[in-house]
Structure 1
């Protein structure tokens, strides 16, 4: 067996612990924490699960203030924990980008739109307070994978949520969605049905319906073989609608991965499987008016 195939087998073995859109400690264990300083358990609101962690890169990409990515994990709005995604922050820290990873309330404790209210408060906290952690509040991006991609898209495209938290989508430099659901009614996934009050869906739940010419620039990434979130209906269609509104959009298709691997490849030893873990930082640095790209 070739060395490349051996590495591939090892990569697949490390992903056996991944279920749905969640990750395990295995991915964090595979990734070095030497590129960042972590500030943990910061409360951005007063409710249960409304805390976040800030990962400050040891070397900042853009002088004395780093571009900022606020990351929301997936899990069908049923599962997930911010601590599981330190490997995402480590990947960004390699490029001098600061990462905020926020928890938000999940089903069955809450349903739509409460997790968007929480997510918006986390972003509003970031815009107000990230300067105290060497982050640049003028270079803030929202990002998510799967259900977290939905959260990120809604905050960037539907002004109701950030405005309710005292901020505005125009304060964002861009948004990043990986394998996100943007046009998914009627819902087929049984885990997501009660989250959105199936079959009595509230109006305005679909991110694709909120695209305007004022929407922030977007990076949309998808695995072409995704079997959980239809890549054509959601990601490709979202990119087309953004372009039709003259919104700058970077659309990338990746093959030979899977729904969970699209974010799993941000873990250190798995990055060779796909360019996505470099493509996203490049988008952040380019749209954050920072021309330095650290290898």
Structure 2
């Protein structure tokens, strides 16, 4: 349903126009363009609930766009919805191709988390209770940051601070060096392709993961989430793959911010996971 609407409105990768009428307007404070690094795209927006209890739980949303497109302001509908559900929300930009190549966007992801870890308390946010939500390429970034300890270590984030990851339609099992549209972006890893495949980075003692995927997704096939969840469980980690029969690649993201959560359960399943790994407000 949502993918069909998105296609009628253009490319389907700018969903904010579709959700303006649905977007809740909870009481919040927006701190925009906070610099987590010196480069122009190393900026984040921080959405703070007025409820001080909700500020203790931080969700960092990482958008997709194939590592060559995307802007944080486009995804304010996600931030508003998650604030309405009781979370503080950060939405960072990160460097994109052709300015950036692997692993620049992953280092930016970790740098944003490092800045939040060091500074969030100034805004009443508990940086020791942080989770990641990512869609598509953003889900890839979130999962790799959780799986490869080098990124968070260099950013000064202790592993215990990252309590969980929600991946929406992420490309976890593909080899980007095999595809023309991503080969140049990941060319720096051509001598060690294991570095760019999340399913091959799985290790023990990583945060719990909820891997959500639409069964109608033809851009990133659901097998990506199924394979990663299986590899995580085989190494003793907690991982759940949830498949949603009505959604495609864009639709699973749009379903996160619609008023029919009892029918389209992506949002309610995500919030239930976050409540469990972060604890409820209070």
TM-score normalised over the length of structure 1:
0.87
Among 205, 209, 215, the residue aligned to 2:206: 215
Q: How far apart, CA to CA, are the structure 2 residues paired with 1:17 and 1:273?
A: 23
Q: 2:141 matched to 1:151?
A: yes
Q: Which residue of 2 aligns with 1:103?
A: 93
Q: How far apart, CA to CA, are the structure 1 residues paired with 2:145 and 2:57?
A: 18
- Residue deviations 1:170-203 (CA, integer Å, cap 9, x gap): 3211111110011111555533222111993644
Q: 2:197 matched to 1:206?
A: yes
Q: Which residue of 1 aligns with 2:60?
A: 70
Q: Which residue of 2 aligns with 1:48?
A: 40
**1:237 partner SS:** helix
CA contact 2:56–2:126 (8 Å) conserved in 1: yes
- Residue deviations 1:23-75 (CA, integer Å, cap 9, x gap): 34342454133343211110011112000001112335xx3643111111000
CA contact 2:212–2:244 (8 Å) conserved in 1: yes
Instruction: Sort the Cα spacing of 1:263 and 1:127 in 2 relative to 1 into closer, same or farther, 3 A.
Output: same
Structure 2 residue runs without a partner (length 5+): none
Give 1:13 shift. 3.9
Count of residue pairs brought into register by the alignment: 281
Could you say what the CA RMSD is over the residues aligned between the two structures, in angstroms? 2.4
Instruction: Sort the Cα spacing of 1:238 and 1:99 in 2 relative to 1 into closer, same or farther, 3 A.
Output: same
Structure 1 residue runs without a partner (length 5+): 1-7
CA contact 2:6–2:15 (8 Å) conserved in 1: no
Q: Which residue of 2 aligns with 1:90?
A: 80
Q: 2:232 matched to 1:242?
A: yes
Q: How far apart, CA to CA, are the structure 2 residues paired with 1:65 and 1:291?
A: 9
Q: 2:130 matched to 1:140?
A: yes
